[in-house]
A = this chain, B = another copy of it.
Amino acid sequence: MTHTPDIKRPPRDLCNALAKVGSATAAGELNQMGLRDTFIRGPVAHSKGRTIAGPALTLQFMPKREDIYGANEYDDPETQLHRHVLYHTQAGDIVVVDARGDMTSGIFGSMMLSYFAGRGGKGVIIDGCIRDSEQCFALDLGYWIRGVTPNYHTQTNIIPFAVNVPIACGDALVFPGDIIIADDDGAVVVPVAMADELLKRASHHVEWEEFTRMKLLQGEDLRKYYPLRADAQAEYEAWRAAQSGES
């Protein structure tokens, strides 16, 4: 019988807070903290308007070799590792797959993802494709994928090989349990040990940003309002006071 390890999950509150940070701020701040590039390149948002953050369940595919992965997989579905990674699903989890960039393998179809959604899964990051895409996109899940295909996961070049091990996804190294932040800009990896510091840095909230955006859209000078120059500070404070007065 197949046993695969579960992951250690960060506090849900931490993930929720990171979702508010968003991928762009996270990528920039993590870079300042020493991680040059945490962006998972390749998978693109196919569920526009969603921002999610949660721990990574990981699934690794490898090049197909018939001596270790024969047709008999379908005799006993329990040997299929892409099922096993989903068995670990808890509310808020994100499944991250190294599909080797393959464009002719549909890693998950609508049945697998219905189960994942039913268990509270939040999103799917694949360096490759899904199948049954129309039905999949109808589920309440976020998708960051390279594309879609009618082919099933082991039909051509790759086979599922390991669950909840470190993987490479879109040229990023992802450990099981790392936190993923994903939104329309894409997905980034946040090492758990750096999550609190990231949150702290990101929460130096630029309160004047709304004011600045308004000014810029009015055609005002970038030099004066972004970042906020000394001579714009009073103006901003007056605006803020007026705003408060209004509400």
Contact = CB atoms under 8 A, between A and B. Distances in A.
Given A131-B24, A134-B184, A183-B134, A39 B219 contact: no
Number of identical protomers: 6
How extensive is the interface on chain A, given as a class?
A: 35 or more
Given A114-B217, A227-B77, A147 B44 contact: yes
Interface of A: 22-24, 26-28, 31, 34-37, 39, 41, 44-45, 48-49, 62-68, 77-78, 83, 86-87, 100, 103-104, 106, 109-112, 114-115, 117-120, 131-134, 139, 147-152, 155-157, 161, 166, 168, 171-173, 183-186, 188, 191, 193-194, 209, 212-213, 215-220, 222-223, 226-227
14 contacts: A24-B150, A27-B152, A28-B155, A45-B148, A63-B168, A67-B194, A87-B222, A114-B216, A114-B217, A115-B222, A118-B219, A118-B220, A133-B185, A148-B184
